[in-house]
Amino acid sequence: MVDLHVFFFPAMAHGHMIPILDMAKLFASRGVHSTIITTPLNAPCYAKGVQKSNDLGFQMSIKILEFPKVDGLPEDCENADQIPSPAMLPVFFAATRMLKDQIEQLLEEFRPNCLVADILFPWATDSAAKFNIPRLVFHGSGLFASCAEGQMRLHRPFKNLINDSDEFFVPNIPHKVKLCLSQLAPHHRTEEKTEFTKMLAEARESELKSYGVIVNSFYELEPDYADHYRNVLNRRAWHIGPLSLCNRSLEEKAQRGKQAAITEDECLTWLNSKSPNSVVYICFGSVGKFPSKQLHEIAIGLEASEQQFIWVVRKGTNDKETEDWMPEGFEERMIGKGLIIRGWAPQVMILDHEAIGGFVTHCGWNSTLEGIAAGVPMVTWPLFAEQFYNEKLITDVLQIGVAVGAKEWVIGTGGNIKRVAVETAVRSIIVGEEAEERRNRCEGLKEMAKKAVEEGGSSYLDLDALIQELSSYPSS
Ligand code: UDP
């Protein structure tokens, strides 16, 4: 077998960087030389993981590209969470397109055997082809969402609907799943051609031309959809997750992504004082920021639910940095009962703690899978992207969650969810017979996830198969 060297090139957003770092570590732990490609201000997020992997005797490295300067983008904006407004997203992606020449220089210099590049870099398939190496795609979604989205694009079951509340079924998938018009991305509904939608169309095309797709999921979680993806949508796919499970030590679980706004000790001391399954963890991913009005509703709903909580609070970029969202006396009343983290939380460490009994999530795929791997039932509060599909997987297919009732595809507002909806959903995820049944189902999935990544498990074997195939490329 040849010594494999694989380049990993994640999009500059934590929801992509975190799982791709885990993926690169996983490849390295199986004897592959893994190189992460990134930009100067994102490099520190990888440094510890790479160092730790090398300390264990594996081979990992980082290569740094200069982030292109473009008009309209603030200086030092190298990550999606620093983009001042959603309207600037296309400018940001246009800037990343300019990394092509630099990547090709690296491919020329180091001659890796494969390029694993994010779906948001459609041009990477052609770059890999110039050097006769396979390009694998990572898009960060689960299989259910990929299948649902694929079928929606083919059949457009909503095309004759007008009102936001008009409902339709996702066509041609193994389960009956209903959505309403307002849960679709605006560009999906209108078919308007913008720079962003052109980039998405290119991404889909480049995925079809690529060697295949690496999926952060495991076969037993979505078997119907793993089969559907391969056999109906005709994609070559390897599911090798949950990737977060490659983080074994407390330190690795606590130090993913950005620097946490709370120390491990403080967080664990608080959690250790709570009984099992008694705390709700609330977090809306790496970019979810809510306006004061929505935070206020959450605070009142949480208090009324009478449940203990850890709440990761990030305010909208346009809000004044005040605590104007906080109900009078809230923090004092919540001492010992609720912990607020203002900034980045050590999410996987928190979810893995036995005190956590529920997770209010925006249904980003990483958070969804991290919740599943930790055996935690969820309150679903999708916001945008493929999160509405993930909600349906959690609530309707796996039956391990309760919907808060989000009906609107939104970036930056929270969807105007009322305090009563928060109170009801939070209480029902912790208390009652149905909560117990959900918890049991979660325990089953947690065990399956663990088995999948252990030696001989489905994800372990799928990664083996992929590494074998890459080793014998191009004859494979
Ligand atoms: N995350 C974290 N701490 C935070 C917020 C997010 O560790 O305070 C991590 C989380 O564990 C997950 C990723 O950031 O791995 C977010 O990815 P996801 O797909 O859930 O959502 P996105 O940020 O892409 O919307």
**What's the per-residue H, E or C state across 360-405?**
EECCCHHHHHHHHHCCCCEEECCCCCCHHHHHHHHHHHCCCEEECC
Q: Is 287 in the pocket of ligand 1 (CB under 6 A)?
A: yes
The Cα–Cα gap between 250 and 229 comes to: 35
284 lines ligand 1 (CB under 6 A): no
Question: In terms of residues, how long is the chain?
Answer: 476
Q: Are 171 and 155 in contact (CB under 8 A)?
A: yes
6 lines ligand 1 (CB under 6 A): no
Atom of ligand 1 nearest to the CA of 368: 20
Taking the whole predicted model, whether its pTM rises above 0.95 is answered as: yes
Cβ neighbours of residue 156 closer than 8 Å, sequence gap 6 or more: none
Closest-CA residue, ligand 1 atom 17, reads: 15
Whole-number Å distance, alpha carbon 370 to ligand 1 midpoint, is 9
Helices (H) and strands (E) in the chain, counts: 19, 15
* Tens digits of pLDDT across the chain (476 residues): 569 999 999 999 999 999 999 999 999 999 999 999 999 999 999 999 999 999 999 999 999 999 999 888 888 899 988 888 878 888 898 899 999 999 999 999 999 999 999 999 999 999 999 999 999 999 999 999 999 999 999 999 999 999 999 999 999 999 999 999 999 988 887 777 887 788 888 999 999 999 999 999 999 999 999 999 999 999 999 999 999 999 999 999 999 999 999 999 999 999 999 999 999 999 999 988 899 999 999 999 999 999 999 999 987 654 556 788 999 999 999 999 999 999 999 999 999 999 999 999 999 999 999 999 999 999 999 999 999 999 999 999 999 999 999 999 998 788 899 999 999 999 999 999 999 999 999 999 999 999 999 999 999 999 999 999 999 988 66
Environment class of 273 (CB within 10 Å of its CB; exposed 0-12, middle 13-18, buried 19+): exposed
Domains of the chain listed by start with CATH number: 5-245+451-471 (3.40.50.2000), 256-450 (3.40.50.2000)
